[in-house]
Every structure is written in structure tokens, then in C-alpha cells.
Structure 1
Amino acid sequence: MQKFHDRTQNTDRTHRDSEGVNRAQFLAGLASAALLPAGTARAARRWHGLRHRGVVYTVGAGETPATGFRPARMRRDIRAIRDELHADTVDVTGDGVERLTATAAEAAERGLHVWLQPTLGDVPERDILEHLAETGRFAERLRRQGASVDFSVGCEFWLYVPGIVPGDTVMERVQNLLDGKVDPVRMQRRLDRFTAEAAAVGRSVFRGRLGYAAAQDDHVDWRLFDIVGIDYYSCFPRRADHVRELRRYLRWGKPLAITEFGTCAYVGAPETAGMGWNIVDHDKHPEEIKGDPVRSERTQADYLVQLLDVFSSMGLYAAMAYEFVTPDAPHRPGDPRHDLDLACYAITRTIEDRPFDPASRRHWEPKEAFHALARRYARDARRG
């Protein structure tokens, strides 16, 4: 599963069959849709450093049985997130109520703060809202049992929910927007309507802090939520530029959570503005890396730590690195043409016992980004 967003198996496959889509261009199209609603003038609450430091953990069916969700593997991963990565938070996201709730329960039992975020897509709105409600009821049960949990009603609805942007699939909707086959006023009106409906469903089943994960240029009425959530993939040479960009999300006087941040492990990936995944030729069998990207785990690690410095200096509510593991993108040492790990955002590399065998057992190993985050999270935990 690659990053445009990868929350469901079917939308993931659609993402990766596309080529040349520029995320910045796509989001710029959204930015022209409407003005940001007026917010409050209050300052958002600040903490010393980050209040919650975590990682995104995606659940899903997987593309093959070998990469699908397995409870035993999930439990090992959650322990590693706590004991080896030293995170205090896990963003449990994806689709499938059983997968989501089992993972959230495991994280809560291990004492982690849980950001629970269902992201079912490319199905009718009614199904998405029912999936949201069922997951939210479980989040409320966890909260009542004493778990530390925030509930997010979803992620970038214009991308996943049919009917907001024309198109039956994610990439059809992307292409229609790029081609200008969208009425921006109507699109924003539909987005506002569904966002309000999702917030109302979330409120009806969950009594804790409610959030939503928006793209950087989304227009959201944050009065509907308790937490402002942003998927953040900017790259600037100076820290001050990040601070300036992020300050606009504090105008609502609400905690700001960075619900995703990260990049791929090759030179130049941070400059792709969240499009680092788009270097795979999916028409080839097996799939091939396009061009000659230079693998650099240090590039990925440095970018993550630099952003953490920014988030910490601003005293933000939470930051969740994207993502812990991507089983469908194996690392193939010595075979750079087929090293699909280059095109994923995971802080671990997935290793196949038998390369190119879909049924092969797989395990993960930490990348430099994992170690860099672990050092940073452990240090911050000691400082309290």
C-alpha cells in the first residue's frame, strides 16, 4: 500500500495504477473551492513539547494472504511500537471494524494513547457512516473503560467518499479534478454536508475528543471538531517556514494534531510533497522502480526528525509518523529496480523470505528512520 493515501485495498490498487499525478497540483485545485470559514481568535492550548508522539498503524485486508491482517503479527507490532519505538501514541487507521477494534484494544491494553480513525472508501455513503458509527461505539467503550482515546471520523473525504468529486474510484476523482471537470462550489457544498454528517454520527456514539484528518489545503469547518487534524507533507529549508504554515491551523483555538507526516527513503523524496510513492511502474510484471532514485534512509530519518523539532517547538497536541509498516512494498537488497520499499513511507523495511513469491512469509526490520524516531521519542519521554 503506497501513499496518496492508503487506507483500503481497493483504493490502494487504484492509486498505484496511476502515473504522474501531482499531489500539490491536486490540492491546489481544492484550495480554489472556497474560503476557509471564520474561526475563533483564541490561542490553541500549548504543551511543553509534543503532548503525544506516535506512529500510524494501518490495518487492512492486504493484497495477498501473506500481507493481510494477522492478529498475532499485529500484537507483536504494537509491542514494538511501545517498547522499541518508544511511542506513546498509535494512529489505528484503515477499514474493517474487527481489524480496527482489535488493534485499538491491543494498543489501549499496552497503555498507548489511541487515535482511532476508520477510513473506509469507494463505497456508498451509508456504508461509510455505518462503519464509522460501529467503530465509534467501540472507541466509546474503550474510553469508558479508562483508555486514553481520541476518535477521528475519517480522512480526506473528498478523496474517499464517492459523490463529492465526480468519479467512481479515487483516481477517477483525482483525474476529474485535474481536468477541471468539477464544479468547485458544488464540490465544497457536498464536502461540507458529508463532513457535518460524519461529525454528527461521531458525536452520537462517542463522548470524548472528536477529530478529523484533513489535507493541508482542505477547507473544513473545525467548529465541528475538538481537534484539528492535518496530514502534513511540506518541505521547507527553514524551520520558520513550517511554523508560519502551521500557525494558520491554530486560529481555531483548538489542539492541532499532525495525523500524518513522513517521506520515502530516497534522495529528493521530501521535495515531492507527499508524492514520493509515484516512482513505481505498475504496468511491468513484476513492478519496477522508474528512473534511478538513490536509496537514502538517512534522507527519510532526517526529514522526520526535522519536522518533529518543528512540532515540538510549537507545543502541538500530537504528531503521528506515517507509517509503521507497509507489507505490500518489500525491500529487495541488491535489486534496486524491484526495491518497492523505495516507494513507501514505512519506517521499517519489509523482507520476503522468498523474493517475488506472493505466498512468502515476511518480516520487518527497522530503518534508520525507526532508530531516529526511537531515540527522539525515548529522550522526550524521559524529559516528561
Structure 2
Amino acid sequence: MEKTEGISRARFLGGAAAAGLAGALGPAGAARAAEGRRGLRHRGVVYTVAEGETPATAWNAHRMRADIRAVRRDLHADTVDVTGDGVERLEATACEVAEHGLHVWLQPTPADIPPRDILEHLAETGRFARRLRRQGASVDLSVGCEFQLFVPGIVPGDTVLERVRTLLTGAYDPVVTQRRLDAFTARAARTARSVFDGRLGYAAAQDDRVDWSLFDVVGIDYYSAHPRPADHVRELRRYLRLGKPLAVTEFGSCTYRGAPEAGGMAWDVIDHDKRPPEIKGDLVRSERTQADHLVSLLRVFESMGLYAAMAFEFVTPDTPHRAGDPRHDLDMASYAITRTVQDRPGDPRSDWHWEPKQAFHALARHYAAAARGRRPATDSRT
């Protein structure tokens, strides 16, 4: 983890869930928001905007526009979770999504800056979201993602990585942590409500305790692996009992055998002390494993009639694929449904392009079939 600016979410997922910040979700509501309905209202993908680890992998408008065209035309998604930092990047990407007639889940996730600055970033993003919505776009605003990781001062640690380690080791006071998390979440909700007049959500880790009365949509980053669909249904149903729409704001898997079982920590298989960085152990690349896991989860979400499900993520430029070189095939540690291929493998200054993985094709078939109102084929192979 070379730096925390422009953070790649794939590197920091699931810290709190793995550490066990567990607790009751609060009083169970009588209503089950989507029980009895089938299908998803919104089927989508996460698109991260960030500075990138090198100039070659940084966000740029030309590449973004091509990517959003592919999301609409080839992936057949109807929603994009636009997440990351930098208000201008968020605004430009959200505008492109809206211009393609897609639903926007706009989620600013600045990190490792003072909480006051995070709220100012949220307010500016929220004002833009209100303008975009009043122009006729379909927009939901999320106040952020897993605050205990991204907001300094809730969990001990100066950086996201340090806070992940704190949560994994248990070196924190859970009572104090919960009090700080509650206070910042309430501030974020108030800030967003003051500037945005649409549906408001938040993306929490699975075991977070959140006051969901502050929000219109319950958002969960979901990285469980169960042998039976019924186990996923049982786990997710507790959120539906809150009586609000449920959005799975992230779901997915890395690209090797056993990755689904590693869940939100599957990214942690790169030895960054090596030069160049390399994959730990003897992992076996498996795009089929990733594709099967995504489609199996998608079927669960559809069977429950959830509000939205957004696969994590479209592309991860900083983990390039190296065909025939498993030791340096960093794409195995990526949740992306595309593989990044460098024109000059191993050169961090190299230009690059993405190619669809099996997961991309599997989701595309599923999304296209759902849009046509028929059941997709069961085979997730390309």
C-alpha cells in the first residue's frame, strides 16, 4: 500500500467486518421493504475516480467517457456507483453517466483529510447532485463509505491502512469507536440533507451499527461467501426488516481460486515489499471463480427484490495483468470485472487498456436478460 491518496477501494475493503465491529442493527421494523418482489430496481457497477498511483493510471476524462459508454452499451448496466475523491472528477463522471440515461449513485469517498474537509467535500458534491437531479437525472446521494476506515479520528491510525490494521488487531475501544462513528455519521447526514433534496444513503460495512433512521436507503458493502443461497438470504433479510430499500453498494470477488471465501480481504495477497511487487504464495488465477460468485450473488439479490446491486468494480488500473507470469499477475488481487493490460508490462509509465474478464461477460448476459424481462442462462462462461 504505497500511498493513501486516491485510494483504491480494493485494498481496504472489509477491515471493520473482519475485525468484528459487530452489533445489533437496531429495532426491527415490521415492514420488509422488498419482500415478495423479484428482480432488482437498479443493476450496476462501481466506477472509482481517483488520482491513481502513477500519472499513467490517473483518472482522465477521455478514458472515463469511453468506459461509461462500455458500461451502457456492452455491460448493459442501468446504474453506476460513481465513487472516489475530487469533486471535479466526481461531477464529470456523474454527468457522463446521466447523459447516457443511467441512474447515478453518487458517493464521495475522500480519505485521510480532516473530518471538516470531508464534510465540505460532501456538501459540494451534494449541491452538484441536487443540480443534476433538477435537470432530470436519476440520482441518489450516498454520504460516504465505511467511515471508520476513511475518516480520521474514529479509529486510531493516521492513514486508512493504519486504521485497517487497528481494526484487525482489535487495538481500539469499541464503545468509544461507536460513539465517534455515530457522531460523524449524523453530521454527514445533516450536511447532505442541507444541500440535497433526493434520496440519501450510506455504504456501511456488513457488521457496522448504523442509525438507519438518518437515511432513505440502507447501503451495505457485501462480501460474504456461503455454500447455499438461503444463507445469503438469511443474512440480508435483517436489513430488509428495517423497512427501507436495500442497496448492495459493493459485491464481488478477486480473481483466484478461494478468493470469494476471503471476502473483503481477498486483495491482501500482494507483497509490496518486493520490487516489483508480487503475489504471495501459489495462487491459481481463476476468472471463472470470480464470474460464478458474482452471478450467484446477483441471483440472490434479484430473488429478494432489492433496490440496487453494484458490482465492485469496473476497472482497477493499478493492479495490471501479466499473462503467463502468475508471480507478477497483480490482477489476481483485483475485484475488477476487467483486466488491466500494460502496453509495456512492468513499466509504471506504460499506457494501458482494459479487457473484459469472464465476470464482465457473465454480468453483461445477466443484466441484458434482466432488462429484457427473461431469465438469463445459468452458465457463466464466456
* Runs of 4+, deviation exceeding 4 Å: 10-16, 21-25
Q: Which residue pairs with 2:94 in the alignment?
A: 104
Counterparts in 2 of 1:181 and 1:14: CA distance versus 1, 3 Å: farther
Q: How many residues matched?
A: 373
Q: Which residue pairs with 2:204 in the alignment?
A: 214
1:358 to 315, 335, 348: 348
Q: Which residue pairs with 2:142 in the alignment?
A: 152
1:345 to 326, 330, 335: 335
Q: Which residue pairs with 1:41 in the alignment?
A: 30
CA drift of 1:25 comes to 6.7
Counterparts in 2 of 1:278 and 1:285: CA distance versus 1, 3 Å: same
1:260 paired with 2:223, answer no
1:281 paired with 2:271, answer yes
- Please report the TM-score for the alignment, with normalisation by the length of structure 2: 0.94
Q: Which residue pairs with 2:162 in the alignment?
A: 172
Whole-angstrom distance in 2 between the partners of 1:139 and 1:14: 25
Which consecutive unaligned segments of at least 5 residues does structure 2 have?
A: 375-382
Q: Which residue pairs with 1:9 in the alignment?
A: 5
CA drift of 1:10 comes to 5.6
Q: Which residue pairs with 1:129 in the alignment?
A: 119
Counterparts in 2 of 1:122 and 1:51: CA distance versus 1, 3 Å: same
SS class of match (1:66): helix
1:60 paired with 2:50, answer yes
Whole-angstrom distance in 2 between the partners of 1:329 and 1:175: 22
Q: Which residue pairs with 1:313 in the alignment?
A: 303
Q: Which residue pairs with 2:226 in the alignment?
A: 236
- Please report the TM-score for the alignment, with normalisation by the length of structure 1: 0.93
Q: Which residue pairs with 2:133 in the alignment?
A: 143
Whole-angstrom distance in 1 between the partners of 2:14 and 2:139: 34
Q: Which residue pairs with 1:26 in the alignment?
A: 18
RMSD: 2.0
Counterparts in 2 of 1:24 and 1:207: CA distance versus 1, 3 Å: closer
Q: Which residue pairs with 2:378 in the alignment?
A: none
Whole-angstrom distance in 1 between the partners of 2:203 and 2:361: 26
Encode CA deviations 1:243-286: one digit per residue, 9 max, x unaligned.
00000001110000000000011111101022111111000000
Whole-angstrom distance in 1 between the partners of 2:276 and 2:157: 29
Counterparts in 2 of 1:22 and 1:81: CA distance versus 1, 3 Å: closer
Whole-angstrom distance in 2 between the partners of 1:291 and 1:58: 28
Task: Kindly indicate whether the alpha-carbon contact (under 8 Å) linking 1:176 and 1:182 is maintained by their aligned counterparts in 2.
Answer: yes
Counterpart of 2:75, as a letter, is L
Counterparts in 2 of 1:14 and 1:256: CA distance versus 1, 3 Å: closer
Task: Kindly indicate whether the alpha-carbon contact (under 8 Å) linking 1:229 and 1:257 is maintained by their aligned counterparts in 2.
Answer: yes
